Amino acid sequence: MDLQDGLAIILILRDNKPFDGGLLFNRAAIISSNKSSEWISCQSIQKNLLLAYKLSGIETNFILFSGAHNETHEVRAISENLIHLNPQVVIFVDHKPHPHAIIESLSQIYKNRRSKPEIHFHVYGDFPLYIKEWKKTEKHLKKFQVRWLCASESQRALLLSLLNKPAECVHVPFPIDTQVFRPMAPSKIAGLRRHLGILDKSKILLYTGRLSRQKQILSLIKCFEEASVYLLKNKKAPPHLLLAGNFDDLGRPYLDEHDNLNQYFSEYALLKNSLSPEISKRILYLGNLNEGSLCSLYNLADAYISLSLHNDEDFGMSPAEALCSGTPAILTSWGGFNSFAESLTSVTAISTNLDAQGPSFNKKAAINAIIALCQEGSRPFAHRQKLAKEAQQFMSTQAVANKLKDLHNVPAPPFLGFNSFMKSLPSHLSKSGPLFYENSKFFNDEYLRLYNSYVVTK
């Protein structure tokens, strides 16, 4: 019996009908939140994932889940719907609400049934913050075959460090809508530079996303300043730095660091005002922008830059959008950014380190990358198109749809549970608890072990 025959028998056992030459698991129920995420990036991820599944040709039915406090009635209704649909795969595409209640209900529904659906999870960067919930779900998940879909190799490595083997964690990037984020003809953005008050031909650096302590915006500005000082001393024009997004006051709660109202914006304003006028005037804050305006900025910029070391940086929607628009990127070698650097020639990676004082990046390398950008000549539009094509082949909605389709031709393995390392984490990792040793600012050993994959991907 060859492999194909083996797959046919699996399908007969699971679905009580013979293999017909199509997708092995073609009927899917996708469970998603009926509320928009508070994170703009997660809103885009959900929208784009649903589009990718639609493009994949997988027969999908969509079920909404609110995760309300009194969710018993809602979970029962979802369970009855799943019995009616009889899906071969149940797919969770959102990072919350946590799926524990639904998985528990499914384990009861299928307890005495021979044919069970696979369970697929799209994993987000906040997975470690919900370890207690996942532990409660473990015994119910063991009744199913499970596939974990991770947006980057770093996130995949992190998750594998928590699972008993064998386990299936697959790298599937979060998709980018390349009908929106793509190269624009130079004529379409011809007046944008003047509209922004940029009257010289200096290079333009762009950051889009949350302007937050979590994203190292002040560190970015300090590197920009040092690069600009060097360029001015050497009679070279410094770049412009455009910042687009909302300021937040989240601080870094996972490190027990909390900001007061408008604190981070105030720190930004103080830092900007402390710079020399020649450098300060080159930093433009543009506020929060819609997708069309963002695409125009990506096409105007000479490079996207992010020096983030955020714990939830499992992918990076903003740099991904920029890359699919053909914009080169300067990124820390951290978390999901590593997969961009490994897959694309348009990424300059800034080395990072992780020790008892937490993650850090090579400041000198970041400054040198900015200087090197300013010493480059101009590039033709064809070069932007080439870079965009390279990125789109990796993470466009159609590229992700093709990957999802391929995955639905291969059965996932039984879930064997979480390992001892996972079970040691809840006392250290939670939304309200710090990740460092009590009464100190040094990170604990569990943190270093867990997030080592964000620095080293292989």
**121 and 221 inside one domain:** no
Same-domain check for residues 226 and 161: no
Pair 221, 285 in one domain: yes
* Whether residues 118 and 233 fall in one domain: no
Asked if 235 and 291 sit in the same domain, the reply is yes
> What is the reported pLDDT for 426?
61
Judge whether 444 lies within some domain: no
Query: For the segment 385-443, what is each residue's pLDDT rounded down to a tens digit?
Result: 999 999 999 999 999 999 999 999 999 999 999 999 998 886 555 444 555 555 556 77
What's the CATH code of the domain at 259? 3.40.50.2000
245-277 confidence digits (pLDDT tens) = 999 988 877 666 788 889 999 999 999 999 999
Domain co-membership, 225 together with 147: no
- Regarding whether 98 and 143 lie in a shared domain, the answer is yes
Model pLDDT, residue 429: 54
Q: What is the pLDDT of residues 26-73, one digit of tens each?
A: 899 999 988 888 888 899 999 999 999 999 999 989 888 887 655 788
Q: What is the pTM of this model?
A: 0.90
29 and 80 within one domain: yes
pLDDT interval class at 17 (50, 70, 90)? very low
**Residue 44, domain CATH:** 3.40.50.2300
Judge whether 386 lies within some domain.
Answer: yes
**Residues 152 and 237 both lie in one domain:** no
Q: Is the dihedral of CA 75, 78, 84, 89 positive or negative?
A: negative
Residue, of 17 and 130, whose pLDDT is higher: 130
pLDDT (0 to 100) of residue 22 = 54
Can you tell me the mean pLDDT for 135-151?
96
State the total domains in the chain.
2
Q: Is residue 433 part of a domain?
A: no
369-374 mean pLDDT? 97
Asked whether residue 458 is assigned to any structural domain, the reply reads: no
pLDDT score, position 396: 98
| Residue 457 placed within a domain | no
Q: Output the pLDDT for position 187.
A: 93
| 27 & 119 share domain | yes
